[in-house]
């Protein structure tokens, strides 16, 4: 028993040392590897948004013929990309996800001495695609919540993120936080951050958000138009929605897959979006 305990302790210590070695170093807004990559391809020294870096990466992959000719859903990393991602092959579908780790705003900074403890609950949660999906509600899911338990509907949707069409003529969508619910003669209306008018549930989008919409949401949040959730608030909302979202996971993934295929086909018809599937 003592030997086993000592072995487990060494494994934990080795894991901690490995975690410290793999910890990214940041130079201002971005990681050192990302800054070095941008510098190596001649990009000007300034702060870039995640949407801008995604576009730069797509152009770089296309111009350097890095798509695997046999398995076209993969990117073969050259020397620059291998140094950035620490791997030889990167999935095109997950390229945006890999890049998120290289933006400082997506990290909660913790002192080295406290890194083995839970994240400080008072710190702000990272506004990343992976996180937002945990509290994002499409129309189908909102209707499901209302039907399943109308008494707790307001508690369930409060603090979640929804997507609405802000301009029906241009089909321009925006993300908003649910900050309240009001009951009309028919279906409930939602009060949303950064909007004066209440919105009927039927006006919510039944599709997932894009990276460009998430980038705009970040900008608005920094400008104070949306309340940025703390880690504690974010965890609480994600946990309260987890049971319902998990139960509907298969249906959501099937819908998501169809949307990705349709959107990729649509963008593929346009010469300016040859690699759109990379950032879906």
Same domain, 82 and 138: no
Tell me, yes or no, whether 35 lies in a domain.
yes
> How many Cα atoms within 13 Å fall on the side-chain side of residue 113?
0
CATH number of the domain that 81 lies in? 1.10.245.10
CATH number of the domain that 227 lies in? 3.90.70.200
Please tell me the predicted confidence (pLDDT) of residue 92.
Answer: 86
Domain that holds residue 47: 2-102
Please tell me the predicted confidence (pLDDT) of residue 250.
Answer: 58
Same domain, 59 and 156: no
Same domain, 74 and 24: yes
Q: Count of domains in the chain?
A: 2
Same domain, 159 and 92: no
Q: At what angle do helices 231-247 and 249-268 cross, to 10 degrees?
A: 100
Q: How far is Cα 170 from Cα 157, in angstroms, rounded to an integer? A: 27
pLDDT in tens, 143-186: 888 888 888 889 889 999 999 987 666 678 999 999 999 876 67
Same domain, 36 and 136: no
Q: What is the pLDDT confidence band of residue 98, given thresholds at 50, 70 and 90?
A: confident
More confident residue, 118 or 209: 209
Q: Of 16, 257, 234, whose CA–CA distance to 106 is shortest?
A: 234
């Amino acid at each position: 028993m003592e030997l086993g305990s000592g072995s487990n302790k060494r494994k934990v210590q080795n894991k901690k040392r490995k975690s410290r070695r793999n910890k990214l170093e940041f130079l201002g807004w971005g990681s050192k590897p990302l800054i070095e990559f941008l510098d190596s391809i001649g990009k000007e020294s300034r702060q870039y948004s995640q949407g801008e870096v995604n576009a730069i990466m797509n152009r770089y992959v296309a111009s350097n013929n890095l798509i695997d000719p046999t398995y076209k859903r993969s990117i073969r990393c050259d020397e620059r990309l291998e140094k950035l991602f620490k791997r030889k092959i990167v999935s095109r579908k997950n390229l945006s996800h890999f890049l998120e780790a290289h933006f400082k705003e997506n990290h909660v900074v913790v002192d080295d001495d406290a890194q083995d403890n839970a994240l400080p609950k008072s710190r702000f949660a990272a506004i990343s695609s992976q996180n937002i999906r945990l509290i994002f509600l499409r129309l189908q899911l909102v209707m499901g919540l209302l039907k399943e338990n109308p008494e707790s509907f307001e508690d369930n949707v409060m603090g979640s993120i929804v997507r609405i069409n802000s301009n029906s003529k241009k089909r321009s969508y925006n993300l908003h936080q649910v900050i309240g619910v009001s009951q009309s003669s028919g279906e409930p209306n939602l009060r949303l951050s950064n909007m004066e008018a209440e919105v009927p549930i039927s006006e919510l989008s039944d599709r997932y958000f894009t990276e460009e919409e998430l980038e705009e949401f970040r900008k608005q949040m920094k400008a104070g138009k949306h309340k940025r959730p703390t880690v504690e608030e974010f965890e609480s909302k994600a946990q309260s929605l987890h049971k319902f979202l998990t139960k509907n996971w298969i249906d959501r993934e099937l819908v998501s897959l169809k949307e990705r295929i349709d959107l990729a086909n649509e963008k593929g018809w346009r010469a300016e979006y040859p690699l759109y599937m990379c950032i879906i």
